[in-house]
Structure 1
Amino acid sequence: MKHIGKLVLLSALLSSSLAFAQITEDPEDRREAGREPLRTQTPEGRPLPFGQRLRIGGGISSLQIGNAQIGTPFIIGVSPVVAYQASERLILGTGVNYVYYRYRLRLPNQTITDQFNQFGVRGFGMYEVVPSLVPNLFAHAEYEGNNIRYPDNVAREYRRRWVTAPLLGLTYSQRIGRLAGINLSALYNINYNADIYSRYVYGSPFVIRVSFF
């Protein structure tokens, strides 16, 4: 029975994968002619409607599974994105960030708990640099603002403030169909050393991100 269950699960996964491929496949595929599907117009040269140039997706911005015995936190962050294919090589987009922190430490006589939220917005642009040499490699510029919580050691309380982060770097996109893609970004936070509060958002000036849109 266990083997039968595994076969049924495998069949379901294969079926769903085929269905996804059919949904994301370009309806006017040009790959048989050795060319990638156009991103902003049909093969006949007609511009695609606004709605067909949109990409909706996002990713998990951070994930850490805490251990209550040693006091490490549980952290999970999500970052939904809406992007627009402005031209064959230019993508413009915006998104929101949300991170949830929970800290729990069990001591012999007490349990210390704490939880809070961090949220923000971002806008970005991606430009395909040299598609003839390295297809789907984009120069990536982004401006991000996050509302963080930080400790005020003088007042002995937590406060909140906005922290901005200009990010520059590269993104490689593995396309799926006409527009959708899996994106790997390597970015550098210009404000990291200039603003100590930036370290409450990212623990390093280098930001590695995986997203889907």
Structure 2
Amino acid sequence: MSLSKNKGFLNIVFVGMFFLFGISEGFSQREYDPEMKPPIKDRLYYGGNFAAQFGTITFIDVSPLVGIMLTEKFSGGVGMTYQYFNNKRFPGGDSNLYGGRTFLRYNVFPNIFAHTEYEALNFDLYNNRTEVFERQWVPSLFVGAGYFAPFGNRGGANFTFLYNLLYDNQRSPYNEPYVIRVGFVL
């Protein structure tokens, strides 16, 4: 499958991401004051990760998330992931990975949080018995911690260090059980 066949889908993803981030500044909030009893829309926060590399190897990652402050220190949320990979050195060297995740965070200190996450990703895996690629769902269970670097009244950057308790070096899309993520929250 070529990039031109994915243009329609990628355009929808990019427009959706820009729409999500465009409206999130007005509706998201990272802080939660239980005495003020804010409505749900004021306790929501939006963010995620975006990466792109173009050339002989093309890689695109779009991973938005939405979370809600449940208490002053505890939040949870959901997210999705879409990744496109194409290695032009090999015919048919492209693939699509997609899936979702749910997470919980506890703010241990104002800018330090504990994080746990369940993720399921669907992608092509090589089956040694049949010697063909087959799409499979692969689960991950991450535990770890992160640092939130605020900027402005509502935004910030997350630096998250995770360990995959279900890591399987034969099936995981990750090269190792340790995963480092850098993302933004609006």
TM superposition shift of 1:189? 0.9
Scaled by the length of structure 2, the TM-score of the pair is: 0.76
Paired residue total:
160
For each residue in 1:147-167, what CA deviation from the matched residue of structure 2 results, as whole angstroms up to 9, or x when unmatched?
010123443322111000000
Larger radius of gyration: 1
Give structure 1 regions of 4+ aligned residues with deviation exceeding 6 angstroms. none
**Identical amino acids, percent of aligned pairs:** 33
Corresponding residue number in structure 2 for 1:50: 40
For the residues of structure 1 that align with 2:129 and 2:42, how far apart are their CA atoms? 53
Corresponding residue number in structure 2 for 1:210: 182
**Unmatched segments (≥5 aa) in structure 2:** 1-24
Scaled by the length of structure 1, the TM-score of the pair is: 0.67
Match of 1:40 among 24, 32, 35: 32
For the residues of structure 2 that align with 1:151 and 1:38, how far apart are their CA atoms? 42
Is 1:86 matched with 2:70? yes
Query: Structure 1 38/81 Cα, relative in aligned 2: closer, same or farther at 3 Å?
Result: closer
The structure that is strand-richer by fraction is: 2
1:52 aligns to what SS in structure 2? helix
Query: Structure 1 57/38 Cα, relative in aligned 2: closer, same or farther at 3 Å?
Result: closer
TM superposition shift of 1:113? 3.9
Is 1:59 matched with 2:34? no
RMSD: 2.5
2:91 aligns to what SS in structure 1? strand
Contact 1:97 1:119 in 2 (8 A): yes
For the residues of structure 2 that align with 1:38 and 1:124, how far apart are their CA atoms? 15
Trace 1:103-122 onto structure 2 (pairs within 5 A).
Answer: 103-105=87-89, 112-122=91-101
Corresponding residue number in structure 2 for 1:3: none
Trace 1:111-190 onto structure 2 (pairs within 5 A).
Answer: 112-129=91-108, 131=109, 135-190=110-165
Contact 1:39 1:87 in 2 (8 A): no
Corresponding residue number in structure 1 for 2:12: none
For each residue in 1:124-179, what CA deviation from the matched residue of structure 2 results, as whole angstroms up to 9, or x when unmatched?
111011x2xxx310011011000010123443322111000000110111123454
Query: Structure 1 38/116 Cα, relative in aligned 2: closer, same or farther at 3 Å?
Result: closer
